[in-house]
A = this chain, B = another copy of it.
């Protein structure tokens, strides 16, 4: 059964544990095995620094063991997605693993980021104009995109031939 790493800021949600259980249940419905970062059980008694490093290594090991990644790229504390998730997408692409993105549709970056007639934001920084809903490094490297995890897992299952 293909193993799907469930990347997203979901681990920070108030209902993080229930959210993971639901995503894993959705995976199972599609013949996939969901791998949720919070499945890694932090050993007790670690310092904050050691706990953070342990979590990095456990998450990377889980990602390396996966066949594909579901990436929740919804905006997180601003207009960009969660950086932990984006880091994992970059790793997955480097490792040749397919990534399926999900987030609610909000148009392309020009539609999402307020900008002037010159295509620049309030600080004068250019807003990408490729008609893509995320930075091109994400939107040109993911294998597929859907608005919801339900649809994304269905797409990923089709892609993996399940």
Q: Using a CB–CB distance below 8 Å, which chain A residues touch chain B?
A: 9, 11-14, 16, 48-49, 51-53, 55-56, 59, 73, 75-84, 86-95, 113, 120-121, 124-132, 134-141
A154 to B136, CA, bound (A): 30
Chain B residue numbers with a CB within 8 Å of A9 are 125
26 contacts between A and B (CB under 8 A): A12-B125, A12-B127, A13-B124, A14-B120, A14-B124, A16-B126, A49-B130, A52-B132, A55-B136, A56-B136, A56-B141, A73-B83, A77-B79, A77-B121, A80-B83, A82-B135, A83-B137, A84-B136, A84-B137, A87-B90, A87-B93, A90-B91, A90-B92, A91-B93, A91-B94, A94-B95
**Which of B12, B82, B127, B138 has a CB less than 8 Å from the CB of A87?**
B138
**A52 near B140 (CB under 8 angstroms)?**
yes
Q: Which residue of B75, B79, B91, B131 is within 8 Å of A48 (Cβ)? A: B131
Are B87 and A76 touching (Cβ within 8 A)?
no
Copies of this chain present in the complex amount to 2
- Contact partner of A80 among B56, B82, B136, B138, CB < 8 A? B82
Residues of B within 8 A of A93 (CB): 87, 90-91
CB <8 Å contact, B84 and A94? no
In the complex, which of the residues B14, B53, B90, B137 contacts A125, with contact meaning CB atoms closer than 8 Å? Answer: B14
Which single residue of chain B is at the shortest CB-CB distance from A86? B86
Give A75 to B136 CA distance when docked, in angstroms: 18
Which residues on the B side are within 8 Å of A126 (C-beta)? 11-13, 16
- A140 contact set on B, CB distance < 8 A: 52-53, 55-56
